Amino acid sequence: MFRVFQKATVALALAAGTLVMAEASASSVALVCEGEFRLQRGSVEGVIEDRFIGTMHVVLLARDAAVVEIRLQTFEDGTRTPVQTFALPVVEELPEVGEMTLLFPELFVDQPVKAAATPAAAKVGTIPGDLSIDTTDQEILLRQVVESGPILKARVDGRPLVPTRQKIETVEMWLDRTGSHVSLVWREDSVRDHKRPGAIRASKVQLGDEKSYQADCIPVRQRAF
């Protein structure tokens, strides 16, 4: 799944409202997205939902007309979250980011080049994440799955004693390059103890928390000028 990318000069630009890649001196693009977050917290009794408006900064780094690293930072309900970095392993150094470091310095602080797994894989007891970033003329697709903890038998989707990891974290991103619309889903399925009224001991059940984001994006320079 992972590819080795040769060094190249690649640019990401937004022309006539369309996000395009072309061979040029630049190799990155920064976007500002404005949209709505939707939070869903799972419980045995049901799902609790909340919605609010928020902003997200996106930086895309590319090689050979293909995105190899995506950095995200969200501003949720007035709170700035830590930067999330999704990077395919490369042999050589990442492309120069140039002016992007001036536009979004927080996205480039303490971001050393790594030739191996993603940040999530460094957690104790975590299985290295399955990461893919696919680039086409119309869209950019990202998917990462990270499993951690022991395998437990729990109730999953109404079925009892299903073997599953204690925690499964999934991130899925879709970016429309023709209209610069972005869709993101962060999901965490975790096994939790639940004791029913009158029961002698607690049983294990898998519950899911999900955060999604729908937004329209514009390039930083279009917003600045």
DSSP string spanning 39-84? EEEE-SS-EEEEEEEEEEEEEEEEETTEEEEEEEEEEETTEEPPPE
Q: What integer is the mean pLDDT of 201-222?
A: 90
pLDDT in tens, 176-202: 988 889 999 999 999 999 887 777 888
Query: Is the entire prediction scored with pTM above 0.75?
Result: no
pLDDT in tens, 122-144: 333 445 579 999 999 999 999 99
Give whole-number Cα distances, 112 to 9, 93, 149, in Å.
Answer: 20, 9, 27
How crowded is residue 160: how many other Cβ atoms within 10 Å of its Cβ? 11
H or E element: which one contains 164? Answer: strand 159-176
Whether 152 and 191 have beta carbons less than 8 Å apart is answered as yes
| Token pair in block for residue 97 | 């980011």
pLDDT at 39 over 50: yes
